[in-house]
């Protein structure tokens, strides 16, 4: 059975981070979309006014435009975006896949979900700028160096407001959807213990464990696609 996947990137990245995953999903007979969130990737929307809500609204609009329920995938901070989008339009979603991603309810206990790399604030105060010298060890510590170099060249500042807004996700809407989790045991951005803590609050089924860094779409695309396809089949079953 063919599925439609919408793949949501995390902070500092764009839809380009899924470029090794999309062709594999398509080759398996499925449809895959990897949009740039507003102000990220190649989208030049000014960061003034970009919030977590506006990112979630963008994804929710994409979901409403689809003919049937979608498998919605979030990586890293993109987990917050897919959670908020799911809260808006749960009827448009077959299931959620969290790829070493932020997965929280508004009522979840306060606390860190990961590490924070060295960052500076842009002159206009709207964005956080990461240190490119730190990115290889933070995001890509098991990824081929050639891929790392290309990825770092495409990283962009992250709108600060997307990281500051309170969540609105509830157990009754977002929390009631089927969901799976792809753990990455060598992740330096969201360490494995934080991934497990989020799952204790919001159990997932199935759960996949990859011995990779924070970016399995680069270092283990074939295995990641297997996880996505198995998740989709479990949601459909």
Q: Are 8 and 78 contacting, i.e. CB atoms less than 8 angstroms apart?
A: yes
Give the active site residue among 47, 75, 214, 215.
Answer: 214
Q: With 70 as the cut, is the pLDDT of residue 115 above it?
A: no
DSSP 8-state symbol, 157: P
pLDDT at 121: 85
Give the active site residue among 13, 54, 76, 180.
Answer: 76
Structural domains of the chain in order of their starting residue, each with its CATH number: 4-236 (3.40.50.1820)
- Whether 231 is a known active-site residue: answer no
Q: What is the pLDDT of residues 175-230, one digit of tens each?
A: 999 999 999 999 999 999 999 999 999 999 999 999 999 999 999 999 999 999 99
- Whether 112 is a known active-site residue: answer no
Degrees (nearest 5) of the Cα angle 43, 46, 49? 120
Give the active site residue among 36, 54, 127, 187.
Answer: 187
Q: Give whole-number Cα distances, 153 to 12, 13, 137, 229, in Å.
A: 11, 10, 15, 30
- Whether 108 is a known active-site residue: answer no
Question: What are the residues facing 226 on neighbouring strands?
Answer: none
Q: What percent of the chain has pLDDT over 90?
A: 86
Q: What is the pLDDT of residues 56-74, one digit of tens each?
A: 999 999 999 999 999 999 9
Q: How many Å separate Cα 95 from the centre of its chain?
A: 14
């Amino acid at each position: 059975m063919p599925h439609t996947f919408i793949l949501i990137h995390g902070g500092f990245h764009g839809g380009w981070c899924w470029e090794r995953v999309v062709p594999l999903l398509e080759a398996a007979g499925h449809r895959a979309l990897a949009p740039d969130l507003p102000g990220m990737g190649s989208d030049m929307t000014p960061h003034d006014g970009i919030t977590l809500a506006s990112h979630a609204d963008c994804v929710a609009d994409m979901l409403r435009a689809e003919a049937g329920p979608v498998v919605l995938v979030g990586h890293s901070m993109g987990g917050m975006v897919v959670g908020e989008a799911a809260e808006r339009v749960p009827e448009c979603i077959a299931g959620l896949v969290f790829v070493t991603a932020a997965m929280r309810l508004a009522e979840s206990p306060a606390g860190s979900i990961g590490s924070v790399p060295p960052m500076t604030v842009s002159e206009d105060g709207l964005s956080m700028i990461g240190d490119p010298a730190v990115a290889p060890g933070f995001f890509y510590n098991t990824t081929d160096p050639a891929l790392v170099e290309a990825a770092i060249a495409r990283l962009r500042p992250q709108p600060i407001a997307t990281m500051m807004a309170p969540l609105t996700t509830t157990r009754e809407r977002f929390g009631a959807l089927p969901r799976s989790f792809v753990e990455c045991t060598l992740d330096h951005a969201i360490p494995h213990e934080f991934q497990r803590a989020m799952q204790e609050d919001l159990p997932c089924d199935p759960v996949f464990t990859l011995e990779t860094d924070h970016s399995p779409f680069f270092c283990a695309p074939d295995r990641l696609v297997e996880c996505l396809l198995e998740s989709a089949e479990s949601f459909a079953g």
